Structure 1
Amino acid sequence: MGKVIVSTQMTVDGVIDRIDEWFTPAGEHEESGSFDQLFAADALLLGRKTYEGLASVWPTITDTRGFADRVNGMPKFVISRTLQGPLEWNASLLEGTLAEAISELRQRHTGNLVSYGCGELAHHLATQGLVDEIRFWVHPVILGHGTRPFHSLEPPVHLTLTGTTTYRSGVTLLTYRPNPK
Structure 2
Amino acid sequence: MRELIVTEFITVDGIAEHEQLPNVAWNDAMNKFKEDELADSGAMLLGRVTYEIFAGHWPSETGDFADRFNALPKYVASTSLETVDWEPAEILDGPLPEAVARLKQQAGGNIYVHGSLSVARQLLGAGLVDRVRLLVYPGAASRGKQLFPSDAPVALELVSAMPFDNGVVAMEYRPVAKT
Match of 1:39 in 2: 39
TM-score w.r.t. structure 1 length? 0.84
Match of 2:73 in 1: 75
Q: CA deviation at 1:23?
A: 5.6
**Cα separation, 1, equivalents of 2:25 and 2:19:** 10
Counterparts of 1:20-39 in structure 2, within 5 Å, are: 22=22, 24=24, 26-39=26-39
- Which of the residues 142, 159, 163 maps onto 1:162? 159
Match of 2:2 in 1: 2
Tell me the C-alpha RMSD between the 2 structures: 2.3
**Shift in alpha-carbon separation, 1:41–1:73, aligned structure 2, 3 A:** same
Partner of 1:56, secondary structure, is: helix
Q: CA deviation at 1:132?
A: 0.1
Deviation track 1:113-162 (CA, whole Å, cap 9, x = no partner) reads: 00011521111101111110111111224445433224x46323222222
- Which of the residues 154, 169, 175 maps onto 1:178? 175
Match of 1:138 in 2: 136
How many residues align structurally?
177
Match of 1:110 in 2: 108
Q: Structure 2: 5+ residue runs without aligned partners?
A: none
How much identity, in percent, do the aligned residues show?
Answer: 36
**Shift in alpha-carbon separation, 1:98–1:140, aligned structure 2, 3 A:** same
Q: Structure 1: 5+ residue runs without aligned partners?
A: none
**Cα separation, 2, equivalents of 1:153 and 1:49:** 22
Deviation track 1:11-33 (CA, whole Å, cap 9, x = no partner) reads: 23333224496464631333311
**Cα separation, 2, equivalents of 1:28 and 1:45:** 26
TM-score w.r.t. structure 2 length? 0.85
**Cα separation, 1, equivalents of 2:26 and 2:98:** 38
After TM superposition, the structure 1 stretch with the greater mean CA deviation from structure 2, 74-83 or 134-143, is: 134-143
